[in-house]
Amino acid sequence: MDTTQAFWWFIFIKDQLLLKKKNGTYTIPCGKKPPIIDETTVVYNIATLDGYPCQTFAITDSPENNEQYVMVGLRESYIHIPHEQFAIAGKARQILHFNCHTRFCAVCGNPTAQITPIFRQCPACKEEYYPPIAIAILALVRKGDSVLLVHAHNFKGNFHSLVAGFLETGETLEECVQREILEETGLKVKNVVYFGNQPWPFPSGLMVGFIADYESGEITLQTDELSHGAFYTKDTLPELPGKISLARKMIDWWIENNVCNQ
């Protein structure tokens, strides 16, 4: 390890990110040496920020200096650190997750070798491994001056969000949007248009957002996944998801640009 160069240190215990306390705020530690490390730690060089290399590794115990450092959940860290730091922290978490879960070859069972932070290979059978990205859609469904919002059983809180679901083999993203909406709410939609996307490092996903217009049907919820769902106007909106999410960005866009589509 180069001890003459300063680095940003993205250090994790599972999904907990180490932050440094600084003048009443938090930041990613930056310095020539990390706050904590041991001889067996595997360090990954993953990016550059403000001219300094970014390195990441996993630890099992928190630093002893609790007055200077704190462990914060990656999702929670969004409100404490600059967006640029959070984006790299998400990338770091995905790389650590990938390397932790591909230490052995799924084909022959032999240990794999790290070639780069995002590439492992089995020396025995030459099988190659790259970080798997789970692709999921988000769908904002408009009906007149209202928007479809749902509450899923696995939501941590009472907020409502957009219909979401994972892309299946053999389907396009637009087909996934139509299928998920029909399966989860019983509604058919039309005019499916791409909105944007967002890396989602919990643990390794990509959210892809779409806008769609209501076509037909009555809301019939898939009750094993959803506990509530309805169309809401701007004046009747329930609690919304946090601003970290693409879903919230899409809802905020709808609020600002709401034009009756029927």
- pLDDT tens-digit map of 210-254: 999 999 999 999 999 999 999 999 999 999 999 999 999 999 999
Quick one: 144 and 96 in the same domain? no
Quick one: 88 and 149 in the same domain? no
Q: What is the pLDDT of residue 261?
A: 55
Report whether pLDDT(108) > 70: yes
- Confidence category of residue 3, pLDDT binned at 50, 70, 90: low
Quick one: 87 and 44 in the same domain? yes
Structural domain boundaries, residue 19: 7-101
Residue 117 lies inside a defined structural domain of this protein: no
Q: What is the pLDDT of residue 40?
A: 80
Report whether pLDDT(200) > 70: yes
Main-chain dihedrals φ then ψ at residue 11, nearest 5 degrees: -115, 130
Quick one: 96 and 147 in the same domain? no
pLDDT digits (tens, 9 = 90+) for 25-51: 999 999 999 988 877 889 999 999 999
Q: What is the pLDDT of residue 232?
A: 98
Q: Give the Cα separation of 64 and 69 in Å (integer).
A: 9
- Confidence category of residue 23, pLDDT binned at 50, 70, 90: confident
Quick one: 88 and 139 in the same domain? no
Please give the average per-residue pLDDT across 115-120, as a whole number. 96
Choose the final residue of a domain: 82, 101, 120: 101
Choose the final residue of a domain: 76, 101, 126: 101
- Confidence category of residue 1, pLDDT binned at 50, 70, 90: low
pTM: 0.90
SS3 per-residue string spanning 20-83? EEECCEEECCEECCCCCCCCCCCCEEEEEECCEEEEEEECCCCCCCCCCEEEEEHHHHCCCCCH
Picking from 16, 80, 88, 6, the residue whose alpha carbon sits closest to that of residue 47 is 88
Count of domains for the chain: 2
Residue 153 lies inside a defined structural domain of this protein: yes
Q: What is the pLDDT of residue 259?
A: 62
Decide if 168 contacts 203 (C-beta within 8 A): no
Q: Give the Cα separation of 232 and 37 in Å (integer).
A: 51
Quick one: 43 and 141 in the same domain? no
Greatest alpha-carbon pair distance for the chain in Å reads 65
Q: What is the pLDDT of residue 37?
A: 81
Quick one: 95 and 140 in the same domain? no
Average pLDDT, the chain: 94
Q: What percent of the chain has pLDDT over 90?
A: 88
Residue 38 lies inside a defined structural domain of this protein: yes
Q: Give the Cα separation of 16 and 10 in Å (integer).
A: 10
| Residue 186 belongs to domain with CATH number | 3.90.79.10
Please give the average per-residue pLDDT across 84-110, as a whole number. 97
Q: What is the pLDDT of residue 17?
A: 97
Among all chains, which residue has been given the structure tokens 């998801």? 241
Report whether pLDDT(260) > 60: no
pLDDT digits (tens, 9 = 90+) for 165-186: 999 999 999 999 999 999 999 9
Q: What is the pLDDT of residue 65?
A: 63
For residue 188, give the H/E element and its range. Answer: strand 188-200
Quick one: 150 and 90 in the same domain? no
